Amino acid sequence: MKKLSIKIIYTLLLISLFFGCKKEESTNIVSSPTAGSLAFKSSAASVVLTAATDATNVATFSFKAANFGASVIPVYSLQFDVPADTLGANAWANAITVKLAAGTFEKAYLGSDFNSLLANQLMLPTGTVSTLVVRLKAEVTQNTGAASTIKPIYSSLTMTVNPYKATIEYPALLVRGGNSWKTPTARTNGFVLTSSKFNDKYEGYLNLPNADGYGGDAFQLVSSKDATKIYGWGGTATTMSLTGGNLYLTPAPAYLKVNADVSALTITYTPVKFFISGDDNAWSTSSTPMVYNATTGKWVAANVSLTAGKTFVFTCNGGYDISYKVDANGNLVYAGAPTWGGINIPVAKTGVFTVTLDLSAGDGNYTYSVK
């Protein structure tokens, strides 16, 4: 009887151990969740960004926790890309990846941050509607840093976005009218030279009204970095000092490209008139002139016939020494002597357009439009 009792006890122990192991094993079985279970979504299907939306929450991406069926804590990230880069062998290779903090199931973007991601990191065209693909990645990582054998789970959505070109506030020299004529006290386009490389060299285009000055407009240049530094007459038309009187545009009145070096204390003035030169006018540097609008501070050429697939360049004074093209991101850049850089500006559509060149905001902020 005693032996039988011992056998029954052993049997019961084995049964309890068996079911206990099965229960423990079941908590460690990994099963991949479906993409749909993540319920990945965006608060906005379409986003148009402007300076007015910089401080506004423009998009929030949210999702539910991924249940891999085991006692693991997934890691999440968002990937941003364009549709063309989400296909093929190198799909998502150029995506911008944003890792989310542990325990976070949403990511909200202010307009300024989202615009920077789109325009600066992803380099989408500004002022144009583009399709954006956003992919949520849920993965299980190992503490050792070794690659996990558990495959990540993805869920994607698409939305349309329209980023804007944010103007960078470069260090500047602000025009201050001399004698009796007044200029804006705040930094104002058309009255500014900027340093796009954040060094001692400043550039801009000025069209001052010849309001008060001998042979030109009397003015001084005030540093935006240190308002006590006021650059004026240095003894000649091409030199400056911190103790002199008024500078004068030479010749004047005229629309001038102005370059100032606050280290060398030099300043130069080049009178300019702009033209459009390209495939559609046999690259003539005189047949398609632009007209300066003193009210808007922009150069404009109306009724310009352009052909899709062709290219053009902004030229000056009948040549290419001062000229503007675009860089690989479509931003307007100086292409003249001595660098001779840039890419010819591509024409997107065939038609008759108004072409505008805006040089009023100083070097680094030059823009153009074709409408």
Q: Determine the Cα angle at 350 with ends 347 and 353, to 5°.
A: 80
Are 69 and 169 a contacting pair, CB within 8 Å? no
Structure tokens at 325: 């093209």
Please report which confidence band the pLDDT of residue 211 belongs to, taking 50, 70 and 90 as the band edges: low
- Which of 14-28, 38-52, 220-234, 266-280 comes out lowest in average pLDDT? 14-28
Are 105 and 75 a contacting pair, CB within 8 Å? no
Under DSSP, is residue 51 helix (H, G, I), strand (E, B) or coil?
helix
Please report which confidence band the pLDDT of residue 350 belongs to, taking 50, 70 and 90 as the band edges: very high
Residue-wise pLDDT for 106-138, tens only, equals 999 999 889 988 987 788 989 999 999 999 998
Residue-wise pLDDT for 181-197, tens only, equals 888 989 999 999 999 88
- Distance from the first to the final alpha carbon of the chain: 103
- Which of 60-74, 254-268, 343-357 comes out lowest in average pLDDT? 60-74
Identify the residue with better confidence: 61 or 33. 61
Q: How far apart are CA 216 and CA 360, in angstroms?
A: 20
Structure tokens at 88: 């093929």
Mean pLDDT across the stretch 21-47? 75
Structure tokens at 201: 């060299």
Taking 60 as the threshold, does the pLDDT of residue 15 lie above it? no
Check residue 74 and give its pLDDT: 86
Q: Determine the Cα angle at 62 with ends 59 and 66, to 5°.
A: 160
The pTM of this model reads 0.62
* Phi–psi pair at 88, nearest 5 degrees: 85, -175
Q: How far apart are CA 254 and CA 205, in angstroms?
A: 10
Taking 60 as the threshold, does the pLDDT of residue 86 lie above it? yes
Check residue 23 and give its pLDDT: 45
